[in-house]
């Protein structure tokens, strides 16, 4: 059953969290929440209740901090909502599941405009709607005394549709490594924004709103993927997680990656040429596009949207990732990347 | 299937989030996470997978901000973990459910001692363990640049065990209003701490670690409760939520509340006398003890731990809460309370 919606006062651009109060914020945000197909109890009670037809629930949490994961001058409120949802929807898809509902925790300064929070709610709702998902609950609190930053914590729930979850630990020697989705676009867009530019729009837009190919996750599970994860830290770092969890070596093919990720004369090459950066650095170490990388038994017909980029070998001395036989760390260093992926505490 | 635990380095009191890094923090925290009875995939993958025997999942999120919801000089790390878990476990219980798993989002300054985070993890695990629940996933990120405050976002998942969820909207004229658990202890403990004291220990301990009677929630659902919520904002405020959602008046009986909540010569009276505060103010407007308030059809034998404190009447001109016939707002004002409950944005 869906809870009755509170009446929402007419939004005023000058309203802030302080002037409308906690319940005013919640009412305005909920007015934009949409409704989740499987929600039996939505926002407004002590907790939500969501149907789990599979008999299991997939659950994941991501925290976005203003000044670390987004900037209000680089991204609109809607962008931030899309991005926060995408990070979680991609995690659910990388298990082979489909997101059914979100919960959102929000700590924000009292002078945050309510219009900004409404924008975030709209972005969250729009990113979820194609899957039949929506925000079903959450909590809104004041930021720490003196803090100017918004902290947004999003939890996604998902359904496996009868499929077994695809873990990071299932890759086996002989498997094919495959990729679905874009790599390097978000990192390239960030490099552009950091230098004070806002074009080419394609990469800036990719940084503001990632477009993970969500359906590729369940399709890979259906096709028999042995291991999978989403690329949120960078391809080398995330294939490293599969290698470590599975006790194998993932050998990536540079030419296949270039063919899959670097369209000739595409925006990554153009920006790379302008900034003096090898665009392969973004492809190999950039996070936040939320592409999916998976391993499949050799001979498996790859589902639509998936491209082979390498193979799994037995770990000799240690698990790890190679690109054309060279260790990931050395490849990243040669490309001038600071490491194989994001370092979260600097 | 439970994920293999990473090897955990020997803790060092001087270690901080900066020195051990994101994955070091995660490894140390997970070493204290315990294991959830219903988790099929625990921490370490893109998402967790938890069994939902009921075919539905209860889900709720609470955000705790340092300096708003806890202070490191008033509460130990373990206390903060207990408190963060309790707020969520109580929300699940207030729907009639039992918590099965937690997800934890954490934004913390790079100089946070890892020993403090380990303490929080221990508190979370200890509060969940009696229910067979544990932390199954989460995210750890750096706090906003310049922010010194920890933000902790906890999501609880729960199972209804075949019971219908008990909403806030089901109270009907003629129902009995009943209470399970303590009221006013946390608020009294906070008043003591604010004045620089740390005794009587009973109320200070209640502020640091609430003790919600979790089993009372499912028991009330089983017994046919028509509406229920946990008391997190204060009894007058939270019964007000039931009154509004149900379109009724909740008439509370002052003598019954005093008998249920103010043991003669108990710590609330002692502290009240010392501070010149009527302890009934804490009982009526103090939050965070996470007692449960519910309505039952007249004549229902109340389950163990539940005490009648009033009755539901048809709303005349408007829904609301009365104490011995007097409006909640007037009662709160007469007791010198700032309002009927917490104001979250000051």
Q: Is A195 annotated as a binding residue?
A: no
- pLDDT value, residue B212: 97
Report, at the CATH architecture level, how domain B176-334 is classified. Alpha-Beta Complex (3.90)
CB contact under 8 A, A230 and B107: no
Q: Looking at CA atoms only, how far is residue A243 from chain B in angstroms?
A: 13
Pick the CATH number of B17-159 from 3.30.1330.10, 3.40.50.10790, 3.60.21.10, 3.10.310.30: 3.30.1330.10
Q: What is the spatial distance between Cα A180 and Cα B13, in angstroms, rounded to a whole number?
A: 43
Q: Are B180 and B230 in contact (CB under 8 A)?
A: no
DSSP secondary structure of A102-121: EEEEEEE-TT-BHHHHHHHH
Query: Which of B3, B95, B147 shows the shortest C-beta gap to A147?
Result: B147
- C-alpha dihedral sign at A123, A124, A128, A132: negative
Residues of B in contact with A242 (CB under 8 A): none
* Strand partners of residue B227: B295
Query: What are the chain B neighbours of A109 within 8 Å (beta carbons)?
Result: none
Res A34: pLDDT: 84
B107 vs chain A: nearest CA distance in angstroms?
7
So what's the ipTM on this one?
0.92
Is A119 annotated in a binding site? The answer is: no
**Vertex A329, ends A324 and A335: CA angle to 5°?**
75
Residue A91 assigned to a binding site: yes
Residue of B nearest to A47 (CA): B60
Which value, to the nearest 10 degrees, does the dihedral of the CA atoms of residues B17, A235, A205, A275 take? Answer: 90
Any idea what DSSP says for residue A301? P
pLDDT in tens, chain B (346 residues): 333 444 444 445 578 988 888 778 877 877 888 899 999 999 989 999 999 999 999 999 999 999 999 999 999 999 999 999 999 999 999 999 999 999 999 999 999 999 999 999 999 999 999 999 999 999 989 999 989 999 999 999 999 999 999 999 999 999 999 999 999 999 999 999 999 998 899 999 999 999 999 999 999 999 999 999 999 999 999 999 999 999 999 999 999 999 999 989 999 999 999 999 999 999 999 988 999 999 999 999 999 999 999 999 999 889 999 999 999 999 999 998 777 775 545 3
Q: How far apart are CA A3 and CA A26, in angstroms?
A: 13
Helices A114-128 and A17-30: angle between axes, nearest 10 degrees: 20
Q: Encode burial over A282-302: b for 16+ CB neighbours within 10 A, e otherwise.
A: bbbbbbbbbbbbbbbeeebeb
Domain boundaries, chain A: 17-159, 168-334
A164, A298 Cβ separation under 8 angstroms: no
Neighbours of A246 (CB within 10 A): 23
Extract the tokens encoding B146: 């310049």
Residue A254: name the closest of A325, A330, A202, A186 by CA. A325
Residues across chain A: 346
Q: What superfamily does domain A168-334 belong to in CATH? A: PurM-like C-terminal domain (3.90.650.10)
- Across the interface, whether the CB atoms of B137 and A55 are under 8 A apart is answered no
Q: Token pair for residue A142?
A: 């004041």
Q: Which residue in B has a C-alpha nearest to residue A53's C-alpha? A: B55
Contact A345 B18 (CB under 8 A): yes
Q: Give contacts of B52 with chain A, Cβ < 8 Å.
A: 52, 55-57
Closest alpha carbon to A62 in B155, B160, B172, B201: B155
pLDDT tens for chain A, 346 residues long, are 333 444 444 445 578 988 888 778 877 877 788 899 999 999 989 999 999 999 999 999 999 999 999 999 999 999 999 999 999 999 999 999 999 999 999 999 999 999 999 999 999 999 999 999 999 999 989 999 989 999 999 999 999 999 999 999 999 999 999 999 999 999 999 999 999 998 899 999 999 999 999 999 999 999 999 999 999 999 999 999 999 999 999 999 999 999 999 989 999 999 999 999 999 999 999 988 999 999 999 999 999 999 999 999 999 889 999 999 999 999 999 998 777 775 545 3
């Amino acid at each position: 059953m869906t809870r009755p919606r509170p009446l929402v006062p007419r939004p005023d651009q000058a309203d802030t969290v302080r002037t409308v109060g906690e319940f005013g914020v919640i009412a305005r945000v909920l007015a934009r929440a949409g409704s989740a197909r499987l929600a039996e109890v939505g926002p407004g009670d002590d907790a939500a209740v969501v149907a789990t037809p599979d008999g299991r629930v997939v659950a994941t949490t991501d925290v976005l901090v203003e000044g670390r994961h987004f900037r209000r001058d680089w991204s609109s409120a809607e962008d931030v909502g899309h991005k926060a949802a995408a990070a979680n929807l991609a995690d659910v898809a990388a298990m082979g599941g489909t997101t059914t509902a979100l919960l959102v925790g929000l700590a924000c300064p009292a002078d945050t405009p309510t219009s900004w929070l409404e924008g975030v709610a709209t972005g969250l709702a729009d990113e979820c709607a194609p899957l039949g998902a929506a925000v079903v609950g959450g909590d809104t609190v004041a930021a720490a005394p003196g803090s100017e930053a918004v902290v947004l914590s999003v939890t996604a729930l998902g359904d496996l549709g009868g499929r077994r979850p695809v873990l990071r630990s299932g890759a086996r020697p002989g498997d094919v490594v495959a990729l679905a989705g874009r790599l390097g676009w978000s990192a390239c867009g960030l490099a552009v924004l950091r230098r004070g530019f806002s074009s080419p729009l394609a990469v800036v837009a990719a940084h503001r709103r990632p477009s993970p190919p969500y359906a590729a996750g369940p399709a890979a599970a259906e096709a028999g993927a042995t291991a999978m994860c989403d690329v949120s830290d960078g391809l080398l770092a995330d294939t490293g997680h599969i290698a470590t969890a599975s006790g194998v070596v993932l050998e990536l093919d540079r030419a296949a990656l270039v063919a899959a990720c670097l369209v000739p004369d595409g925006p990554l090459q153009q920006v790379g040429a302008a900034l003096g950066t090898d665009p392969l650095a973004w492809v190999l170490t950039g996070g936040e596009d939320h592409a999916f990388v998976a391993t499949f038994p050799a001979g498996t017909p790859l589902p639509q949207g998936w491209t082979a980029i390498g193979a799994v070998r037995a770990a000799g001395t240690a698990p790890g990732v190679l690109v054309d036989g060279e260790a990931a760390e050395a490849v990243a260093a040669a490309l001038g990347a600071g490491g194989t992926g994001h370092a979260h505490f600097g």
